[in-house]
Amino acid sequence: MSAQGVAVLLSWLSCCGWALWRYSTNTPNYLIFSTRSTIKLEYEGTLFSEWSVPETCSVKNKRSPKTEMRCSSPGFQKIRPIVTGPDLEEERYLHVTSSNICFLWYYKIIFRKPLQEYTFSHSSLNYATYLEFYQKARIESLLLTTLAGFHPCWGFQRCQSITSLPHIIIWIYDPENASPNELLWNANKPSLNSIILSKQMATLGQRPVIYTYLKRKVYLPFIRLKNGAWVFSVPILTDDVLQEFKGNNVVFQDCFIADSLFLLTFPWFTIPEIPGLLPISSPQGSQLMSNWDACAPESAVVVADMETFQTNDSFHTWTRIRVPPKILTSNQRHSVSDVTLTQDGIFFLIHGILYIRTFTAFARLGKKANLPESGIIGITTRKWCWIKYLMKAEKRSNMAIWTRHEVYLGYSSLEFSRLTTTKTLQKILNISSAATLTIHNVEYTGHPFELALLLNYCVQCNVIKKVHLVIYNEDTKQWTYQDFALDVTVDSFINLYFLYSAMPELILWDKKKIYYCYHNFTDTGVLQMPTEFGSVSRDSNIHAVFIDYYGNIVVKMENNVMFYFKINIRDAVKLHLWTNNAAKSLIFLNTSGQIYLVYVLKNGTIYPQNYPLSLELDSVSFKTKEKCPFMAFHYNIFQVFYILDKGQNLSIWTRIVYPENMGLYIIVELYGPNILEKKYKVEFEITLEYCTKTMTLTFFQNINYEAVDDYFNLQYQNTGLLLLQVRPSKYAKTCLLPPKMFQIAVGCDSSKHIVVKGFKNKDCLSHDFFYIIEKSYLRDRPSKNLRVKYSWKKYGCPLRLDFREKFHPVIQLYDENGFIEDVEVNFIVWEIHGRDDYSFNNTMKKSGCLNEAQTWKSMIKLNKHLPLEAVWGPENYKHCFSYAIGKPGDLNQPYEIINKSNYNHLIWPIYHTGMYVFRVKILDPNYSFCNLTAIFAIEIYGLIPSPNGYLVFSFLFLLMLLFFSTLIFSYFHYMRIYKRYIYEPIYKRERKQKNY
């Protein structure tokens, strides 16, 4: 926001309500708060006299409500405004550090947006012409997509793969000497100071890179320092959005550059404001309501009592969401009771009816969408982002809708289905039909697949009702009744918010109380609030509870008083006043993982403001003297998703350092199916009155899948998703590191695939062609030859071999990160078009078989009802190296199983050439949960194919006929010439006639 906008905000806040003061710096998110920082102080109120600061700090103008301060010494600095009057303003203990971090990375992401290339005048555009403009822009952008290789995400539909390579321009800037545009974060190019600083740092060896946290990839700039900036080109991946700017440890004037986190997500197009559309809002005087995308927190929507606002960049820019006229009445437009934001659009709940606002339309959702026409009491979306997960079911919901007696789930592309009813739940939970059971509230848990229902249960329902909780798993389709019950009055409404934890842990609240449920409902109670909460709660109600990934929990009252506690903590502290009680505000999470406040002003505008939660907590903790019980908590868990295949294991370690005699230990919590075995190892050490405990955990499976009765069922039972969390046994509000939570998936990694070594698609001309397979070479011996189309795209380049060359396939395993290993286990090959005119050089006897081995012929005979590719695989594989398995037979048959070390080769017939397209399949049942297959092609050359006898005879007959016909024709032709000249002289003598 501009300086004028800030002035409007401050004047509005200071006109009435409480007096308070706050501070700010030029650094975004208060990342640098040191002796080098300029700290801006501002007081709201009319009783200000002067600032009280310690001797180590200097103030530019003590008697000005808005001034600047610098502190020469690090430490906690006591700052307080002195006011005229009997009351004292609260003091803060600002923690000023002596960090050598002085500089920051400034970045700008440039997307190619075909839609943005169209310019139009809002004053001359109505809704109908806007739709026409949108269709034209979309058609032309698709042409640009084809030409430029870029596919934009239209409306709210998010792409699921790489669609663009945006340019990321970065440079180094000094917040204390930056330009106004750089401080407002809207600069398009570096300022003069930033250009000089970037060039100087580059001269000293600064080479920035972009590091991705989830896939741990490193990207280098494709344009090195030019005009004071580096330029990167990084693909946008939905499963690798968390990234960081990293630089070398280069120092300039004793200052380093701070690494900066950011999210690189697909751009969402903001719904434009079109003249003629009408505002949509909540009822007059109601509190703000909001929702944001769990995996893109910068995309959010806010509903106020005068407008609805939407942003795609953490309210750096925003638009008003409005609806076409004549769809809603004036009362309906100002009666929004709930709002959610998904990939498909913005959903509004109005008078029990669900509406959706997309990029081009505003529509009511009812029976046609498989939803109730009315009676909807709530909607919600997921609160935690899980980009990667392993799911057995076909799909996962992203939205829940419920009435008093039904629950519906929403999926992408506006697909909805009913999940359950209260009658069904009564039967599942064995609840008496005489009792009244209704749905109270619904919320997604911290688990990727689980959904929780709060149920009202009562018999007479006059004064008190019980609230119970059940959890539904979308993957296993199972309901779990939790050991939780809460007695509340009939008119009470309970909100709930699940924590980012492995075990189901949640916070519940009504207007006045906050309840906690920790450690899978084994630790429950009412949160202990500070003594001043009583007076605050009498004047105000709980407005919202904010929880982030670091375990921070902020309780915001309607009058903007805020309280703080942390995950697994049972008491809260009151934070310093930051916002006037006359303001309407909300708490959000930005792309750097830091919280910020959003204010909706009376003039219909919106203003974001960074909030220094860590500094405010340091100030409060300095007065309460609360300390973290441990000194350090480390682990080697660098990912949030690990996947284990057959034969693999996962080893992690975690270490805690704490003062002697504290008696701390490490707790490991595992939530999910019992499909992994575990080994623990704990090491203990005491040094200089500090204890160090290190725990090493190893997770593995020890199941033999070979020759089992039901291979696929055994695999299904032993695959799934587990959530694991490691945490200290004691915790405090001042502990910086939260418990570490991550997933362990057991099953098939969808990115795994195999290839046959030696085949490259660059070794041949890419074209399709047809060839004929002689019927006698086919396994089923059909009556006709088979005409086959060779698809280069499917089969790649064939490997050309002389018919005398044997071929031993070498199989290689790859995943999304590249080569893993050469496959050493057994595999089989077969020609996909049915050829069987090839064989193997090893016999069963030579391979060491004690009984007759499996062959394609025997497996086809046993599984006549199955297609060729399904008759033989890991599900029915049995080896031949034991007398107890199989039956005696002819061991001189070809051994048709290959592995890396048995030197079994494919051999070819010597009397003809041919084209073979093989499919290879991993046969070992203990190698992978994945059905690993690959295709390769081999072209045999050497001898000319034997011709058909009839064809040869016909060709010779025609050749002889042509020869004799030519001979006879030439004989008669020359005879005619001979006869002509035998009677006529060749040379005629010309006689001259005499003239008389």
Least confident of 127-136, 258-267, 602-611: 127-136
pLDDT for residue 236: 85
Q: How far apart are CA 97 and CA 889, in angstroms?
A: 82
- Which DSSP symbol is given to 685? E
pLDDT surpassing 90 at residue 4: no
Identify the burial level of 867 via C-beta atoms within 10 angstroms of its C-beta, where 0-12 means exposed, 13-18 middle and 19 or more buried. exposed
Residue type, 699: F
pLDDT surpassing 80 at residue 627: yes
pLDDT for residue 116: 38
Which is more confident, 495 or 242? 495
Express each pLDDT in 803-843 by its tens digit: 889 999 999 999 988 999 999 999 999 999 999 999 999 99
Q: How far apart are CA 488 and CA 493, in angstroms?
A: 9
Mean pLDDT to the nearest integer, 618-625: 92
* Per-position DSSP letters for 619-640, written without gaps between them: HHHHHHT---S-SEEEE----S
pLDDT for residue 590: 86
pLDDT surpassing 50 at residue 141: no
Grade residue 786 by pLDDT with cuts at 50, 70 and 90. Answer: very high
Mean pLDDT to the nearest integer, 439-458: 95
DSSP reduced 3-state for 426: helix
Express each pLDDT in 453-491 by its tens digit: 999 998 888 888 999 999 999 999 999 999 999 999 998
Express each pLDDT in 360-382 by its tens digit: 899 999 999 999 999 999 999 99
Mean pLDDT to the nearest integer, 923-951: 84
Least confident of 294-298, 704-708, 758-762, 990-994: 990-994
Identify the burial level of 883 via C-beta atoms within 10 angstroms of its C-beta, where 0-12 means exposed, 13-18 middle and 19 or more buried. exposed
Share of the chain above pLDDT 70, in %: 90
Express each pLDDT in 156-196 by its tens digit: 333 333 345 789 999 999 999 999 999 989 999 999 999 99
Give residues with Cβ within 8 angstroms of 442, minimum separation 6: 378, 380, 400, 402, 407, 451, 452, 453, 454
pLDDT for residue 592: 79
DSSP reduced 3-state for 355: strand
| Sheet bearing 690-700, strands edge to edge | 632-635, 649-659, 690-700, 677-687
Mean pLDDT to the nearest integer, 743-753: 94
pLDDT surpassing 60 at residue 7: no
* Other residues' Cβ atoms within 10 Å of the Cβ of residue 253: 10
Least confident of 716-720, 745-749, 912-916: 912-916
Least confident of 7-11, 315-319, 734-738: 7-11
Grade residue 579 by pLDDT with cuts at 50, 70 and 90. Answer: very high
Grade residue 127 by pLDDT with cuts at 50, 70 and 90. Answer: very low
Looking at the DSSP bridge assignments, the partners of residue 203 are: none
Mean pLDDT to the nearest integer, 637-647: 93
Instruction: Report the alpha-carbon angle 933-935-938, nearest 5.
Output: 145
pLDDT for residue 979: 72
pLDDT for residue 993: 52
Grade residue 996 by pLDDT with cuts at 50, 70 and 90. Answer: very low
pLDDT surpassing 90 at residue 264: no
Rg value, the chain, Cα: 38
838 in Cβ contact with 916 (< 8 Å):
yes
pLDDT for residue 985: 58
Grade residue 143 by pLDDT with cuts at 50, 70 and 90. Answer: very low
Share of the chain above pLDDT 90, in %: 67
Grade residue 68 by pLDDT with cuts at 50, 70 and 90. Answer: very high
Mean pLDDT to the nearest integer, 222-248: 88
Grade residue 995 by pLDDT with cuts at 50, 70 and 90. Answer: low
Residue 611: C-alpha distances to residues 107, 330, 590, 718 (Å) = 21, 37, 11, 46
Grade residue 319 by pLDDT with cuts at 50, 70 and 90. Answer: very high
- Which DSSP symbol is given to 56? T
Grade residue 982 by pLDDT with cuts at 50, 70 and 90. Answer: low
Q: Read off the tokens for 380.
A: 């919600």
Express each pLDDT in 328-371 by its tens digit: 999 999 999 999 999 899 999 999 999 999 988 999 999 999 99
pLDDT for residue 948: 65
Mean pLDDT to the nearest integer, 576-591: 91
pLDDT for residue 33: 94
pLDDT surpassing 50 at residue 118: no
pLDDT surpassing 80 at residue 199: yes
First-to-final CA distance of the chain: 133
What integer best gives the mean pLDDT of the chain?
87
Which is more confident, 18 or 388? 388
Express each pLDDT in 35-61 by its tens digit: 999 999 999 988 899 999 999 999 999
* Other residues' Cβ atoms within 10 Å of the Cβ of residue 741: 23
